[in-house]
Amino acid sequence: MTMQFEAGQKATYKDRYRDEDDGLRFQDLEFVGNFVGQEPLKDGILGDKVQKQRAKSKVLERVSREEVLKDQFTIDELNDLNNYLAWNIWDVLVMRATEGVSGMIPRQEYEILAFMHEFYRWPEFLRKTTDQVGAEGVLEIGASARREIGTKINAVHDWSIGAVGFGMGRCGLLALEAIKPDDYVAESNDILKFMQRVLWGKKQDGYLLNSQDRYRCTIHDDDFLQPIISQVEQLEPGSPLHDSFTRFNAAAELLSFLDHFDCRLGLGDTGPYELPDGNILILRDLFVNEAEYHWSDVCEDEGLPHAYTLAIVLDANAMGLQEIRVNDIGTTFTRPKNYIPYIVGGAVFSREKWDTPMGEVRNIPIAELGADLEKIQRATLKLYRKVSTMSKRELIWAGHDVYYYGMILPHLRKAGTWDQAVADWQIKEVDQRVANYYYDIQKRGFAQETVPLKIFSGAGYLPFGQNADIRSSKYAQLF
- pLDDT tens digits in sequence order for the chain, 479 residues long: 333 334 347 999 999 999 999 999 999 999 999 999 999 999 999 999 999 999 999 999 999 999 999 999 999 999 999 999 999 999 998 766 545 455 789 998 999 999 999 999 999 999 999 999 999 999 999 999 999 999 999 999 999 999 999 999 999 999 999 999 999 999 999 999 999 999 999 999 999 999 999 999 999 999 999 999 999 999 999 999 999 999 999 999 999 999 999 999 999 999 999 999 999 999 999 999 999 999 999 999 999 999 999 999 999 999 999 999 999 999 999 999 999 999 999 999 999 999 999 999 999 999 999 999 999 999 999 999 999 999 999 999 999 999 999 999 999 999 999 999 999 999 999 999 999 999 988 887 788 777 778 887 888 999 999 999 998 888 666 55
**Whether 95 contacts 26, CB under 8 Å:** yes
Q: Which of 180, 113, 98, 94 is nearest to 456 (CA)?
A: 94
pTM of the model: 0.95
Q: Which of 298, 445, 387 is nearest to 105 (CA)?
A: 387
The b-or-e profile of 253-276 (16+ CB within 10 A means b, else e) is bbbbbbbbbbbbbbbbbbbbbebe
Give the three-state DSSP class for 457.
Answer: coil
The b-or-e profile of 407-429 (16+ CB within 10 A means b, else e) is bbbbbbbbbebbebbeeebebee
**Whether 208 contacts 51, CB under 8 Å:** no
**Whether 189 contacts 170, CB under 8 Å:** no
Q: Which of 273, 260, 285, 266 is nearest to 383 (CA)?
A: 260
> Checking DSSP bridges between strand 343-351 and strand 280-287, what pairing results, if any?
unpaired
Distance from the Cα of residue 187 to its chain's centroid? 22
